[in-house]
Chains A and B, each alone.
Chain A
Amino acid sequence: GENVEQHPSTLSVQEGDSAVIKCTYSDSASNYFPWYKQELGKRPQLIIDIRSNVGEKKDQRIAVTLNKTAKHFSLHITETQPEDSAVYFCAARTEAAGNKLTFGGGTRVLVKP
């Protein structure tokens, strides 16, 4: 089945700097890649997603890039703010596997004021 690896597991950045989280996936048939943000004690919430027919997608300070050949995708957060501190999860979905999501292990991001 699909395997998703996420790096780094923790990331500390200064407020205003950029943060980059990288994920690799194993199944070349995966076609949908969402990113979720989970604040402490809260539920995961979708922040951005990308489909396999697109190479890059941006939403204000957040962007996601996808390299299908290399089977990796990345989350970029620019001009980080303290409220960006959270755990971020990447995921991949393969339609042939019943549209199930496989999640990475998560990245704990700390934005220092």
Chain B
Amino acid sequence: NAGVTQTPKFQVLKTGQSMTLQCAQDMNHNSMYWYRQDPGMGLRLIYYSASEGTTDKGEVPNGYNVSRLNKREFSLRLESAAPSQTSVYFCASSDGGRDTQYFGPGTRLTVL
């Protein structure tokens, strides 16, 4: 099993550009999450999907949209990137939201 995978690993954008971060899991988990990690700020939840077909805002949703494409895939979209969105983005999944969250390898995004 690959676990949780994310693409791309690195990305540089210019202010105003858009992009989609991809996440997939092969553990048949119901719940999936997107976090951003900034120095000294820990991990902050952007959006999550408790189950296929549902999405909810987390702590810092502004400037982002998500799509739960199917049970395996959960994408994060930046419609108009801003320098404040420079961060490392982690996707995670868990079984029904009751157990351990497993993290992907992360995407390091720089917005110039």
Contact = CB atoms under 8 A, between A and B. Distances in A.
A38 B104 CA distance: 12
A49 B104 contact: no
Interface stretch (B21-29, B36-44, B61-69, B77-85): B36-44
A45 interface: yes
Interface string A74-113: 0000000000000001010000001111111110000000
Contact of A43 (B42, B59, B105): B105
A46 B100 contact: yes
Contact of B50 (A34, A89, A98, A104): A98
A98 B40 contact: no
B42 A99 contact: no
Indicate the member of B33, B42, B56 with the most A CB atoms within 10 Å: B42
B75 interface: no
Contact of B40 (A91, A101, A106): A106
A8 interface: no
A100 B43 contact: no
Contact of B98 (A44, A45, A89, A99): A99
Contacts of B33: 100-101
Contacts of A91: 43
Given A34-B100, A49-B100, A100 B40 contact: no
B24 to A, nearest CB: 15
Interface string B72-112: 00000000000000000010001001101111111000000
Task: Give 6 nearest A-B pairs by CB, closest first.
Answer: A99-B97, A43-B103, A103-B42, A103-B43, A105-B42, A46-B100
Interface of B: 31, 33, 40-45, 48, 50, 56, 58-59, 90, 94, 97-98, 100-106
5 contacts: A42-B105, A43-B106, A98-B50, A100-B45, A101-B43
